[in-house]
């Protein structure tokens, strides 16, 4: 009886904890304020006296990179992009315009959190630098020059504090020779958004300066309808994927210009309708620096423009309907759809998944103000916020807030001691200051320290990490730039969502929402995680190595000597068990199943062969890859494999497809390649030596090795679901 009574008490306690968690409301104002604390930690240049992290006031930040310039033009200031010290205009411009949108639409929340003045200061810090980054301004579109990227791979190999950086910082520009409507469109959007904000703040002269830059940038973008590229062989941190993506950037920029100047509204409606007519843009589900159409739609709706009806149908009836469909469960191919993890996260992108979720939460908050189904959008945004903060699950992905926070963000300075004593001398890819040695507390601020698994020594309060996988697993590895990195643009939409929820909470708009994304109580982790391949520690070839669960992927392989690899010994990616770590490009790596590559008697490619595959890569986000194989086959016999690749329902020809066959008995696997024909079908034969033994089984999946991820900093393959073969 006593044992039974104890069990009942424990059960009641668990129910009580779960109920309390379900009823708890997040502190949205605190989250909003913390975001700006993170942004101020990312400031570059001569830091202002109002910076919250000043070293002279007991913080961890000093002024840094005080010599940034382009041919003598001052480029000191601005914000660092992510976990290193690059300054990149594209995501900065997009982030600034979204933050200003949140300020314009949810000003009461900013006022209530006492963060309005802080936000205005931060936005001016950003727009001041973006004005500098317009290094040659002219009313003649061809004469303008804009900074696209300040520094490159050199910063990836520097692990010290920014004030001690000694690496070169090359600069890459957009001008008449490169074009770049996507990049410069984000300049125009940020300038115009700044003009809207500072006009409302009574700073008309500054607003006029910003709007003049916006008009010049927009004219350049219209005159150069292409995506921006750095010179061949140069590391480009943010490269737009869609060739026609610049149209959405022009729609986004012109919508902001319409908000400032009614004379621009016909142009804004034209570009929005043009973007909506492009299937690659209309049917994408992401919202980030490279996929801007949802933001343009939200602006057109908020201004009741002629295109608002079409914009609402697109954003509310298509995009948000996909995001809010919790019945679509993971796993699903990344970037192909939105699926729900076991604990309730709406999952779209493998790379920085919470960035896209946070951005779409912001869109939902805006539709909670302007949409037809307001309450559903508000409650969905709240459910995702509760997942991210850990209020509903017991696991937070927001540093400085909630339970079980990330401890090892991919951020160089945070791995080092907050305080140090000069002199500091160059050492091992970073610096070692007086009295420092080794790694961790009191250690040098160098590469060894960064790669050591000690918890961060500086708490990046307010920073949102990339996030978990489709099984809610989060390895919390500092070198894992896919899931552990923090970035200015990662936080932008999330900040807007926090502002929106704060304002809805103030007005009682959250009262009818259910407890959270998973009913309030934390969901116990599955063991092992679903759909995780069995451990495989075997070797491999083809530049790959099979690794245990969540171990490092990357570094120089036998097929990629230091002389031709841009990332040197970088090994930041993390793979699940049974995966093979393979180099995907000069700078990036990917994880795929398999241990050996077999020559395939594949179907003959179309005329043009490899050239066709290179010209028409598979596109995650709108593509569907399906694989087929016989359910049963004679042991030791060759097997016919097929895969179908479609784009919005239309066949994709000339694309490389790699079949991956994993044997459940030996834990080995094989890959064969084929090229899709005119009907979008790739056919291959699995050789006899890869067939399984009688009584065993294999799984077959397909992957597009030339696929690129929308919004990712590198390439990520589109993959199919698995099918099984039983060997008889």
pLDDT at residue 688 in the model: 76
> Do 486 and 411 touch, CB atoms closer than 8 A?
yes
pLDDT at residue 156 in the model: 84
24-68 tens-digit pLDDT: 899 999 999 999 999 999 999 999 999 999 999 999 999 999 999
CA atoms of 480 and 469, how far apart (whole Å): 12
Lowest average pLDDT, out of 219-223, 618-622, 679-683, goes to: 618-622
Q: Is the pLDDT of residue 677 over 80?
A: yes
CA atoms of 234 and 231, how far apart (whole Å): 6
pLDDT at residue 717 in the model: 42
Confidence of residue 609 (pLDDT cuts 50, 70, 90): very low
Strand partners, 616: none
Rounded to an integer, the average pLDDT of 70-81 is 97
| Strand 669-675, strand 596-597: pairing | parallel
Instruction: Identify which has the larger pLDDT, 661 or 208.
Output: 208
Instruction: Identify which has the larger pLDDT, 608 or 181.
Output: 181
3-state secondary structure of 466: coil
The number of angstroms, rounded, from the C-alpha of 118 to the middle of its chain's C-alpha atoms is 26
CA atoms of 365 and 356, how far apart (whole Å): 14
Strand partners, 551: 575
Instruction: Identify which has the larger pLDDT, 681 or 361.
Output: 361
pLDDT at residue 448 in the model: 95
Rounded to an integer, the average pLDDT of 189-198 is 98
Q: What share of the chain is helix, strand, coil (3-state, %, to 5)?
A: 35, 15, 50
**Would you tell me how many other CB atoms lie within 10 Å of the CB of residue 525?**
13
Strand partners, 589: 583
Instruction: Please state, rounded to an integer, the average pLDDT across all residues of the chain.
Output: 82
Q: Is the pLDDT of residue 541 over 50?
A: no
Confidence of residue 709 (pLDDT cuts 50, 70, 90): very low
426-480 tens-digit pLDDT: 999 999 999 999 999 999 999 999 999 999 999 999 999 999 999 999 999 999 8
239-260 tens-digit pLDDT: 887 789 999 999 999 999 999 9
pLDDT at residue 330 in the model: 94
pLDDT at residue 495 in the model: 98
pLDDT at residue 109 in the model: 98
Q: Is the pLDDT of residue 713 over 50?
A: no
Percentage of the chain beyond pLDDT 90 is 62
Rounded to an integer, the average pLDDT of 202-215 is 98
Rounded to 10°, the helix 181-200/204-223 angle is 160
CA atoms of 115 and 711, how far apart (whole Å): 29
Confirm whether 111 is a catalytic residue. no
Output the pTM of the full model: 0.77
**Would you tell me how many other CB atoms lie within 10 Å of the CB of residue 172?**
20
CA atoms of 292 and 294, how far apart (whole Å): 6
CA atoms of 99 and 264, how far apart (whole Å): 22
Cα–Cα nearest to 253, from 394, 97, 405, 398: 97
Strand partners, 645: 625
pLDDT at residue 484 in the model: 95
Instruction: Identify which has the larger pLDDT, 634 or 147.
Output: 147
pLDDT at residue 702 in the model: 78
Confidence of residue 515 (pLDDT cuts 50, 70, 90): low
656-667 tens-digit pLDDT: 887 878 765 544
Rounded to an integer, the average pLDDT of 509-514 is 90
Confidence of residue 581 (pLDDT cuts 50, 70, 90): low
Confidence of residue 545 (pLDDT cuts 50, 70, 90): very low
Instruction: Identify which has the larger pLDDT, 715 or 85.
Output: 85
pLDDT at residue 372 in the model: 96
3-state secondary structure of 148: strand
Cα–Cα nearest to 347, from 366, 322, 369, 316: 322
**Would you tell me how many other CB atoms lie within 10 Å of the CB of residue 192?**
31
pLDDT at residue 522 in the model: 32
Q: Is the pLDDT of residue 131 over 90?
A: yes
Q: Is the pLDDT of residue 133 over 60?
A: yes
pLDDT at residue 649 in the model: 57
Q: Catalytic: which of 26, 182, 480, 485?
A: 485
354-407 tens-digit pLDDT: 999 999 999 999 999 999 999 999 999 999 999 999 999 999 999 999 999 999
Q: Is the pLDDT of residue 421 over 60?
A: yes
Instruction: Identify which has the larger pLDDT, 650 or 386.
Output: 386
Strand partners, 581: 545, 591
243 Cβ contact partners less than 8 Å away, ≥ 6 residues apart = 226, 227
94-121 tens-digit pLDDT: 999 999 999 999 999 999 999 999 999 9
Confirm whether 489 is a catalytic residue. no
Q: Catalytic: which of 186, 476, 489, 722?
A: 476
CA atoms of 437 and 415, how far apart (whole Å): 14
Instruction: Identify which has the larger pLDDT, 686 or 81.
Output: 81
């Amino acid at each position: 009886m006593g044992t039974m009574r104890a069990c009942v008490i424990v059960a009641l306690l668990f129910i009580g904890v779960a109920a309390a968690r379900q009823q708890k409301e997040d502190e949205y104002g605190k989250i909003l304020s913390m975001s700006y604390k993170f942004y101020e930690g990312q400031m570059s240049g001569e830091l202002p006296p109002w910076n919250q992290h000043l070293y002279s006031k007991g913080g961890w930040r000093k002024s840094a990179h005080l010599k940034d310039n382009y041919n003598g033009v001052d480029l000191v200031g601005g914000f660092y992009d992510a976990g290193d010290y690059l300054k990149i205009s594209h995501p900065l411009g997009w982030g600034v315009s979204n933050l200003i949108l949140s300020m314009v639409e949810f000003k009461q929340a900013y006022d209530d959190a006492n963060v309005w003045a802080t936000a205005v200061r931060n936005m001016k810090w950003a727009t001041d630098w973006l004005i500098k980054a317009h290094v040659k301004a002219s009313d003649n579109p061809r004469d303008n020059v804009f900074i696209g990227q300040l520094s490159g791979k050199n910063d990836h190999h520097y692990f010290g504090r920014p004030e001690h950086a000694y690496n070169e910082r090359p600069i890459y520009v957009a001008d008449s020779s490169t074009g770049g409507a996507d990049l410069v469109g984000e300049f125009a959007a940020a300038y115009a958004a700044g003009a809207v904000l500072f006009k409302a703040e009574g700073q008309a002269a500054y607003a006029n300066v910003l709007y003049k830059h916006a008009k010049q940038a927009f004219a350049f973008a219209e005159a150069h309808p292409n995506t921006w590229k750095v010179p061949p062989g140069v590391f480009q941190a943010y490269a737009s994927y869609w060739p026609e993506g610049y149209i959405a950037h022009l729609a986004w920029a012109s919508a902001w210009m319409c908000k400032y100047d009614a004379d621009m509204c016909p142009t804004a409606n034209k570009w929005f309708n043009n973007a909506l007519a492009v299937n690659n843009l209309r049917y994408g589900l992401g919202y980030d620096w490279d996929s801007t159409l949802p933001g343009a739609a939200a602006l057109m709706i908020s201004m009741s423009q002629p295109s608002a009806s079409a914009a609402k149908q697109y954003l509310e009836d298509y995009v948000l309907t996909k995001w809010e469909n919790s019945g679509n469960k993971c796993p699903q191919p990344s970037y192909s759809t939105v699926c729900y993890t076991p604990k309730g996260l709406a999952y779209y992108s493998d790379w920085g998944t919470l960035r896209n979720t946070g951005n779409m939460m912001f869109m939902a908050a805006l539709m909670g103000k302007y949409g037809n189904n307001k309450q559903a959008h508000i409650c969905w945004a709240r459910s995702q916020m509760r997942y991210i903060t850990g209020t509903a699950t017991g696991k937070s992905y927001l540093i400085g807030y909630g339970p079980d926070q990330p401890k090892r963000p991919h951020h160089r300075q945070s791995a080092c001691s907050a305080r140090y004593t000069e002199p500091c001398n160059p050492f091992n890819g970073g610096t070692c200051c007086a009295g420092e040695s080794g790694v961790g507390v009191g250690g040098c601020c160098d590469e060894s320290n960064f790669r050591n698994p000690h918890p961060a020594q500086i708490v990046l309060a307010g920073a949102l990490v990339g996030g978990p996988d489709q099984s809610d697993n989060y390895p919390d590895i500092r070198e894992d730039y896919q899931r552990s990195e923090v970035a200015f643009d990662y936080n932008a939409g999330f900040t807007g969502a926090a502002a929106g929820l704060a304002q809805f909470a103030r007005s009682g708009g959250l009262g009818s929402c259910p407890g959270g994304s998973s009913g309030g109580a934390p969901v116990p982790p599955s063991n092992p995680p679903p759909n995780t391949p069995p451990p495989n520690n075997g070797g491999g070839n083809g530049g790959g190595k099979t690794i245990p669960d969540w171990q490092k992927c990357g570094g120089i392989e036998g097929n990629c000597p230091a002389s031709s690899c841009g990332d040197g010994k970088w090994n930041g990616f993390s793979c699940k068990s049974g995966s093979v770590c393979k180099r995907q490009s000069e700078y990036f790596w990917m994880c795929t199943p398999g241990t050996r590559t077999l020559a395939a008697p594949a179907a003959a490619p179309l005329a043009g062969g490899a050239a066709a595959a290179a010209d028409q890569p598979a596109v995650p986000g709108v593509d569907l890859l399906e694989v087929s194989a016989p359910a049963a086959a004679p042991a030791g016999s060759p097997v016919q494999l097929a895969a179908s690749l479609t784009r919005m329902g239309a066949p994709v020809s000339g694309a490389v497809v790699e079949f991956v066959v994993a044997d459940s008995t030996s834990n080995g696997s094989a890959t064969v390649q084929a090229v899709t024909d005119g009907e979008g079908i790739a056919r291959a034969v699995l050789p006899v030596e890869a067939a399984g033994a009688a009584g065993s089984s294999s799984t077959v999946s397909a992957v597009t090795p030339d696929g690129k991820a929308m919004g990712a900093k590198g390439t990520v393959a589109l993959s199919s679901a698995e099918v099984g073969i039983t060997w008889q």
